[in-house]
Amino acid sequence: MPKIIKQIAHACIFAKDLAETEAFYRDVLGFEVAFNFTRNNEIFGYYLVSGGDTFIEVFHKPEANFAETNQINHICFEVVNMDEAIAHIKSKGVAVREKSIGCDDTWQSWIADPNGVKIELFQYTGESAQFVGRDRVAHW
């Protein structure tokens, strides 16, 4: 089988309070903000550096009832080569979205596991916000 996954790129979580969540990850675990996501000139999420090339992606979701919905939104794997990964996944009969460039200038695609867990696939570019910084305006 070809090696398609390089490592976990990030886990995405929802936060009822962005500032409280940032303070926890910064002050308790020592993470730093890599960049923010903005919408309508307001921060609604950010990336936290958790070590190496791995991150925690946080989005504001104040209305979430975490007793009914899981605060972990998805897991993201960095792939070695997006085109090869998509071809391999398709060959296994699994539905996969075509690749697209996200607002963070990173190639992405999406699949789901048999339980419905959302899995994002990532291939970084030379302009990926995870490494060059700069806040990004979300277009979704």
pLDDT at 27: 80
pLDDT at 81: 93
Q: Which residue has the higher pLDDT, 41 or 69?
A: 41
Asked if 34 and 128 touch (Cβ cutoff 8 Å), the reply is no
User: Which of these ranges, 45-59, 60-74, 104-118, has the smallest mean pLDDT?
Assistant: 60-74
Rounded Cα gap, residues 140 and 47, in angstroms:
17
Tell me the three state secondary structure of residue 38.
strand
Report pTM. 0.69
pLDDT tens for residues 14-35? Answer: 888 889 888 878 886 778 999 9
pLDDT at 108: 95
pLDDT tens for residues 60-107? Answer: 988 766 555 566 778 888 988 999 999 988 988 889 999 999 988 999
Which domains, and CATH codes, for the chain?
A: 5-128 (3.10.180.10)
Amino acid type, 21: T
CA nearest neighbour of 9 among 43, 55, 41: 55
Q: Which residue has the higher pLDDT, 4 or 19?
A: 19
